[in-house]
Chains A and B, each alone.
Chain A
Amino acid sequence: MTKTENNRAWFLVLPVLILVAMNAIIPLMTVVNYSVQETFGDNLFFWSGTSNYVAVLTSERFIHALLRQFAFTGIILLIEIPLGVAIALAMPRSGVWSSVCLVLMALPLLIPWNVVGAMWNIFALPDIGLLGWGLNSLGFNYNYTNQPVSAWFTIVLMDVWHWTSLVVLLAFAGLRSIDEAYYRAAKIDGASRWAVFRYIQLPKMRQVLIIAVLLRFIDSFMIYTEPFVLTGGGPGNATTLLSIDLVKAALGEFNLGIAAAMSIIYFLMTLLVCWLFYTLMTQRDARENAS
């Protein structure tokens, strides 16, 4: 019996292929193309092999931006994940107030990113902004435009304000899925509040928290708009995170080869971290279920 092949099936996949090609593959390949060439303007390109990559990886500027990026992502994850879980635990589990809390929580997520940056820009101004003025009247020497510590404090606070809600909503969804019987059994078993959290709530939230950490990692690793609007990477290079540095190289200095190489390295790093994270978590699950 011969197998009939119906090649028309490919036409059904074609629209998706075209879409993916247009918005992912072709742009990525263009970047790959730029990253291995050198240009001096006038659309003249010269093959330069891996020299752009070597230049990026050995430049102090890139290493510093990368370290700042990891510091930023690390700090906001350490704050947002526990804070989000704590808020989700404190929220009413059902009823009108539960819905009110959910709506309030979702509000920051609905605000466009550049608006968030602009809001905090004004909010944190030392002379007229409520936050800046308030901190200074309390005796803190606060000015995010010329003090690196103040600038970091402001972008971290802004990110926590903007994105903790996401963790809250995910953690809350995880908590809601816990059957009432578990809490009843825990009461009968004489479990303390901490034991209920440690042995019932945390294990049931684990899956959604993995997603929360992944999302917050990717988003914060790629963060651009808010710090760009707020501090523009300054004072000096104090808040120049990877993406800001990248845009500076590409559009500020028109160093296309270097910027392209940075992009590829950046992209591979994000991919690698996500993959590592995902495999670690899923392997742990598989091991637990198999044991």
Chain B
Amino acid sequence: MAEITLDGIRHAYGPVRGPDDYALKTLDHVWTDGGAFALLGPSGCGKTTLLNIISGLITPTEGRILFDGKDVTLLPPEARNIAQVFQFPVVYDTMTVAENLAFPLKNRGVKKADVRARVATILEMLDLAALADRKAASLTADLKQKISLGRGMVRENVAAILFDEPLTVIDPHLKWQLRSQLKRLHREFGHTMVYVTHDQTEALTFADTVVVMVEGEVVQVGTPEELFERPRHTFVGYFIGSPGMNVFPVRLDGATAHLDGETIDLPAAASAPPSARTELGIRPEFVTLGETGIPFTITRVDDVGRERIVHGEIAGRPASAIVPEEGEVPAMPRATFRPDRINLYADDWRIEFSS
């Protein structure tokens, strides 16, 4: 278990001619000891690159990585004392399930009795005890992935356990079960865990702290609550939440925002640089449809059981609102926004209200 510090990490896969050649843009971050972190972002945003830099499979072009203050930038993965679980199950076909789990320990010369005890614990934890003597090759994909997870967790003293979208190949109902198992293991053993995913539900349920990345850049680091309530970047607003945050171009004037001739009251005054593109963000959860407010043109209503998602347009921009199952929605509704849930953006980055 360790605290992992990323100090000015940058990485490019090919030659560097300009700042756009970096697959991973400059990054400073500290993963605190024993935390559960998620790296969330769309495919190709650099999250796997970052994970491989931490495990040592890739050496960053620039910057340093410190484990508990010790520089490990140039150390190979086997010298870093780190465990990693990959997207697709990797099992050693000729070994039994138990031998697979024992492999990382044996390679490090752990005493036989200790190996046996530790493997038994992991088998028990993952409900694999009944399969201990089966050949790994004959198992289904999700059982194989369980073995991979087990191999990741079998070493007690690892600095961190890294998960690279480990539940992609797992059936949805098993996914949920495995995720809670991981969460329980985190509580029991207190390893530092970093979990890469493009699935917001996975990230938000697993992690205490979520790091959102887009195009090689970290746009926000925060708790699930912070990501939901105060997205630092319009991308975080879109990406997290279902449906994502509504974003409308507005003109700011003190404590009022002007949207296509209508006015919206803000909780406090805010100002943005005069040249900046200013936008207002409001989550569908905090849009109310009624008789007053800004005209809202309905295009489609999805009934998802507990509530209804109303899709439509405000001022020619796509918008959505979540309304309760009971109660009427007027045919030509108007929308009001809950003032304390409004976020303002200047050139896609959040600006604070001057209170």
Interface flags, A54-87, vs B, CB<8A=1, else 0: 0000000000000000000000000000000000
Q: A187-B77, A188-B55, A291-B134 are in contact. Are A181 and B107 (CB under 8 A)?
A: no
Q: Chain A CB within 10 Å — which of B94, B134, B148, B151 has the most? A: B94
Which A residues are in CB contact (< 8 Å) with B86?
181, 184-185
Which residues, 124 to 157 on B, are CB-close (under 8 Å) to A?
134-135, 137-138, 148, 151
- Bound Cα distance A195, B103 (Å): 10
Contact A181 B135 (CB under 8 A): no
Contact B103 A291 (CB under 8 A): no
- Bound Cα distance A130, B57 (Å): 48
Interface residue B93 (Cβ < 8 Å from any Cβ of A)? yes
Interface residue B173 (Cβ < 8 Å from any Cβ of A)? no
Which residues, 35 to 64 on B, are CB-close (under 8 Å) to A?
55, 57
Which B residues are in CB contact (< 8 Å) with A181?
86-88, 90
- Bound Cα distance A66, B229 (Å): 84
Which residues, 172 to 203 on A, are CB-close (under 8 Å) to B?
179, 181-182, 184-185, 187-192, 195, 199-200, 203
Contact B82 A188 (CB under 8 A): yes
Which A residues are in CB contact (< 8 Å) with B87?
181
Interface residue B17 (Cβ < 8 Å from any Cβ of A)? no
Contact A288 B78 (CB under 8 A): no
Which B residues are in CB contact (< 8 Å) with A291?
134-135, 138
Interface residue A2 (Cβ < 8 Å from any Cβ of B)? no
Which A residues are in CB contact (< 8 Å) with B238?
none
Interface residue B76 (Cβ < 8 Å from any Cβ of A)? yes
Chain A interfacial positions (CB closer than 8 Å to B): 179, 181-182, 184-185, 187-192, 195, 199-200, 203-204, 288-291
Further pairs besides A191-B103, A195-B103: 14, Cβ < 8 Å: A181-B86, A181-B87, A181-B90, A182-B90, A184-B57, A185-B86, A187-B57, A188-B57, A188-B77, A188-B104, A189-B103, A192-B107, A290-B138, A291-B138
Chain B interfacial positions (CB closer than 8 Å to A): 55, 57, 76-78, 82-84, 86-88, 90, 92-95, 103-104, 107-108, 134-135, 137-138, 148, 151
